């Protein structure tokens, strides 16, 4: 992931806030976006492992459920929706923005960098 990807992500989410007429608290927004990137990376790694690891078990399923719960909590603070996928060949976490803008091929949402 490139630094520009993070900057672009933050700019588009902040712009989406402004277009939706929502107040932006820069510190809180930065905290939520940072958490989403971190959790998105963890989710992607787990999805890659789920596809290739024969030792995947109930503890791993519980870890995925916990990460998804945390992703949803942070996503609710910055966007009206979130799409979480299982296929690690593409983006596994996408924000559904107020404006409907997307950056994925399916037009489903804005990809969280690294996810």
Q: In 2-57, which residue ranges form alpha helices assigned H by DSSP? A: 3-19, 26-52
How much is the pTM?
0.91
Structure-block tokens of residue 18 = 């402004």
For residue 91, the tally of other CB atoms under 10 A from its CB is: 23
- The yes-or-no verdict on residue 24 having pLDDT over 90 is no
Both tokens of residue 89?
A: 């060949």
Q: How confident is the model at residue 55 (pLDDT cuts 50, 70, 90)?
A: very high
The whole-angstrom separation of Cα 31 and Cα 17 is 15
pLDDT at 1 over 70: no
| pLDDT (tens digit per residue) in 84-96 | 999 999 999 999 9
Mean pLDDT for the chain overall: 91
Domain boundaries, the chain: 3-111
- Alpha-carbon torsion (81, 38, 113, 105), positive or negative: negative
CB 43 within 8 A of CB 94: no
- The residue among 70 and 78 whose pLDDT is bigger is 70
Could you tell me the pLDDT band of residue 14, with boundaries at 50, 70 and 90?
confident
């Amino acid at each position: 992931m490139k630094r520009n990807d993070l900057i672009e992500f933050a700019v588009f989410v902040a712009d989406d806030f402004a277009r939706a007429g929502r107040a932006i608290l820069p510190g809180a927004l930065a905290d939520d976006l940072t958490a989403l990137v971190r959790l998105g990376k963890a989710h992607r790694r787990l999805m890659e492992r789920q596809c290739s690891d024969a030792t995947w078990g109930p503890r791993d399923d519980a870890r995925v459920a916990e990460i998804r719960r945390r992703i949803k909590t942070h996503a609710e603070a910055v966007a009206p929706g979130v799409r979480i996928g299982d296929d690690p060949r593409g983006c596994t976490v996408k924000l559904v923005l107020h404006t409907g803008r997307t950056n994925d091929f399916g037009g489903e949402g804005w990809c969280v960098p690294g996810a």
